[in-house]
């Protein structure tokens, strides 16, 4: 029973953390048709903002405000300088964002060095959950992920802005002909996706080894979650994250991490082979 509760909490923790990373990625992919290879580095910048705040002897909680704002500005700048010029060249978006990811990673190495950084856990005291002693900070991450996810879904499905975004995703030329400023929507959507990645990095930094390579650890599972769930609906990423997160965590608990990764990739291959548009998808 104890093992089942602990496994359930670990699965929920990883899945919600992955959801927090995947939301910004699926919004950019779904609206702008841009495969953002730099999303992992946005996550990385959010984590290193915690390192900078810690070195300045400022409270960790301040980073939860600084990181998304900083990454939103970074997203606006990169969208204006690079991304907007390659919207209609799908392969070029991959190359452009890959180049951005390399540049950001090297910038981190220049500023902070190649070695890993450790972050002081702001909530070190564990708590008892259903008879299991569990880290309180992991529960905090779950709470943040749920709050941000509900807020994102509310914006998309209960506001006029969300209606406009879904209209552009469904049919961009028609949305533009009806008077929607798709250029401005693209700009702010990219900034919002970058801000979500920065917040995810800041939230999860205290439980990870913060190093220049950490972005890739979440980027690949996030892409797999999107492809498995489908990009036509935000619920698709929720379903994809649940499948990928549960499979990875359960297999890792009974076998090795390598076996877990193999199982995740096999699951993604089978689902994409049977449902090329994802479990909740439609032809674009």
Provide the residue-wise pLDDT of the chain in tens; the chain has 284 residues.
Answer: 687 888 888 899 889 989 988 888 888 887 777 888 899 999 999 999 999 998 888 899 999 999 999 999 999 999 999 988 887 787 888 899 999 999 999 999 999 988 888 888 898 888 888 888 888 999 999 999 999 999 988 988 888 888 888 777 777 788 888 888 888 888 888 899 899 999 999 999 998 889 998 888 888 888 899 888 887 677 888 999 999 999 999 998 888 888 998 999 999 999 988 888 888 865 44
Q: Residue 232: its pLDDT value, please?
A: 65
Task: Indicate the domain borders of the chain.
Answer: 2-212
pLDDT of residue 50: 92
Alpha helices by DSSP H, listed for the chain, are: 2-32, 39-55, 63-81, 90-112, 136-158, 160-170, 172-177, 182-204, 215-229, 234-254, 257-274
Would you state the pLDDT for residue 188?
86
How far, in Å, CA of 262 to CA of 203, rounded?
28
Whole-number pLDDT of residue 230? 81
Other CB atoms closer than 10 Å to residue 87's CB: what's the count? 17
Looking at the whole model, is its pTM more than 0.85?
yes
* Those residues with Cβ within 8 angstroms of residue 242's Cβ, 6 or more apart along the chain or in another chain: 15
| 42 φ/ψ angles, rounded to the nearest 5 degrees | -65, -40
The reported pLDDT for the residue numbered 201 is 92
Residue 282 pLDDT: 53
Q: What is the DSSP string of 198-211?
A: HHHHHHHGGGS-B-
β-sheet bridge partners, residue 134: 127
Task: In whole angstroms, give the CA distance from residue 164 to residue 182.
Answer: 9
Residue 127, SS3 per DSSP: strand
């Amino acid at each position: 029973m104890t093992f089942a509760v602990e496994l359930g909490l670990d699965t929920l923790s990883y899945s919600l953390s992955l959801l927090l990373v995947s939301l910004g990625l699926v919004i950019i992919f779904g609206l702008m048709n841009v495969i953002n290879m730099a999303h992992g580095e946005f996550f990385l910048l959010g984590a290193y903002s915690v390192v900078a705040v810690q070195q300045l002897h400022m409270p960790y909680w301040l980073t939860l405000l600084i990181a998304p704002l900083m990454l939103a500005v970074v997203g606006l700048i990169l969208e204006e300088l690079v991304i907007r010029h390659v919207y209609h060249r799908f392969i070029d978006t991959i190359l452009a964002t890959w180049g951005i990811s390399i540049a950001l990673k090297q910038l981190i190495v220049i500023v902070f060095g190649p070695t890993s950084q450790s972050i002081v856990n702001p909530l070190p005291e564990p708590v008892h959950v259903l008879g299991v002693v569990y880290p309180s900070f992991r529960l905090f991450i779950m709470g943040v992920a749920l709050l941000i996810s509900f807020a994102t879904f509310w914006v998309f499905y209960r506001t006029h802005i969300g209606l406009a975004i879904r209209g552009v995703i469904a049919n961009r030329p028609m949305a533009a002909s009806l008077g929607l400023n798709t250029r401005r929507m693209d700009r702010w959507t990219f900034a919002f996706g970058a801000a979500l990645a920065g917040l995810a990095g800041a939230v999860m930094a205290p439980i990870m080894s913060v190093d220049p390579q950490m972005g890739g650890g979440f980027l690949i599972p996030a892409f797999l979650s999107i492809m498995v769930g489908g990009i036509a609906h935000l619920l698709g990423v929720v379903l994809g994250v649940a499948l990928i997160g549960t499979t990875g965590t359960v297999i890792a608990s009974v076998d090795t991490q390598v076996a877990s990764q193999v199982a995740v990739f096999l699951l993604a291959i089978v689902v994409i082979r049977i449902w090329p548009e994802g479990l909740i998808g439609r032809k674009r």
